[in-house]
Amino acid sequence: MSRDLELAAREIELRRSGFTIVAGIDEAGRGPLAGPVVAACTVLTALLPIRGIDDSKRLTPKRRADLALEIRRHAAACGIGVAEPAEIDALNIYRATQLAMRRALEAAGLRPEIVLVDAMPLPGLGLPVESIVGGDGRCTAIAAASILAKEHRDALLRELDALDPRYGFARHKGYGTPEHLAALRRYGPSPYHRRSFAPVAAALGGP
């Protein structure tokens, strides 16, 4: 079985069961110390003319960027949802991720018949939700969402780097690399940091 067919297997099953509007949702940026968590929602057409969609982590940056353009061009609908660092600090990262996912679904502007989510429950939508562990590597719609979420978040972190180049956001995308941790110790947190995360709290003089 080809990789494309392997990822499409669940959606093929759902379409054979009568579902015609299937959405996939995934996020990028749960682990970083800075920047928002970003979710994307994609609703793919039954005959999406795109080959090579996969988990964003398995793709080169160029291939991921090319696929993001193709997904946006050919998807029936797609949307982006963002939860900012202040919301992450207020809600915790888990609930902020769910908030970003709900915003992504709303931004897609097309109500699906079922939602496939990467490894998270998403209650309160009023429609069927299937949480698939490792979904970005097992389901085309979720993999497509992972690509859009990653591309959007990386672009946001490049913008933050231009606003404040001290931390190297464009290089590490807010993750806790040695370079980033050294900058935190030297400069303290920026407005873009998640103050509830332990390394940032430590830089603020917390426990």
- Provide, rounded to the nearest whole percent, the portion of the chain with pLDDT above 70: 97
Cα–Cα distance for residue pair 30/58, rounded to 1 Å: 18
The pLDDT value recorded for residue 1 is 62
3-163 to CATH, choices 3.30.420.10, 3.50.50.60, 3.40.640.10, 3.90.550.10: 3.30.420.10
**pLDDT tens-digit profile, the chain (207 residues):** 688 888 989 999 999 999 999 999 999 999 999 999 999 999 988 766 688 999 999 999 999 999 999 999 999 999 999 999 999 999 999 999 999 999 999 999 999 999 999 999 999 999 999 999 999 999 999 999 999 999 999 999 999 999 999 999 999 999 999 999 999 999 999 999 999 999 999 998 865
Closest CA to 35 of 181, 160, 150: 160
Task: Write out pLDDT tens, residues 37-70.
Answer: 999 999 988 766 688 999 999 999 999 999 999 9
The pLDDT value recorded for residue 50 is 84
Q: Contact, 97 vs 39, CB < 8 A?
A: yes
Give the DSSP letter of residue 34: B
Could you tell me the residue ranges of all domains in the chain?
Answer: 3-163
Which phi and psi angles does 16 have, rounded to 5°?
Answer: -65, -25
The pLDDT value recorded for residue 45 is 83
Task: Write out pLDDT tens, residues 29-41.
Answer: 999 999 999 999 9
